[in-house]
Amino acid sequence: MEANALKEIINSELAVAVYFSAPNCSVCYALKPKVEALFLNEFPAVKFIHVEIDKSPGISGAFGVFSAPTLLVFFEGKEFLRKVRLMSIQELQQKIERPYKLLIG
């Protein structure tokens, strides 16, 4: 996937979460299934996309992501949330819940 393709998805979908990971990042791979499950179970209308920084350097550069793990959440094409490295699933849920309910219902 290229940066322009990802931007198109972000602009065409109501809500998108982009999770960036890096190779040899144990935190990235321990956290990904938990973050993915959060969106699947609590926020099913959010499109979840996983980007591996080493395989898509153009995307990480275009979105200003230089460390992993990083989670970007977009509502209506605008960046709503950016979490880098340390993130708790409970905190993510609390921050996303209100705008998600307002936008999606």
d(C-alpha 54, C-alpha 17), whole Å: 19
Is 12 part of the annotated catalytic residue set? no
Q: What does pTM read for this prediction?
A: 0.94
pLDDT recorded at residue 86: 87
d(C-alpha 100, C-alpha 105), whole Å: 7
Is 79 part of the annotated catalytic residue set? no
Catalytic residue among 25, 31, 46, 92: 25
Domains and CATH numbers, the chain: 3-104 (3.40.30.10)
Catalytic residue among 17, 28, 38, 92: 28
pLDDT recorded at residue 44: 97
Provide block-wise average pLDDT over 10 residues at a time, the chain (105 residues).
92 97 93 96 97 92 94 97 93 95 89
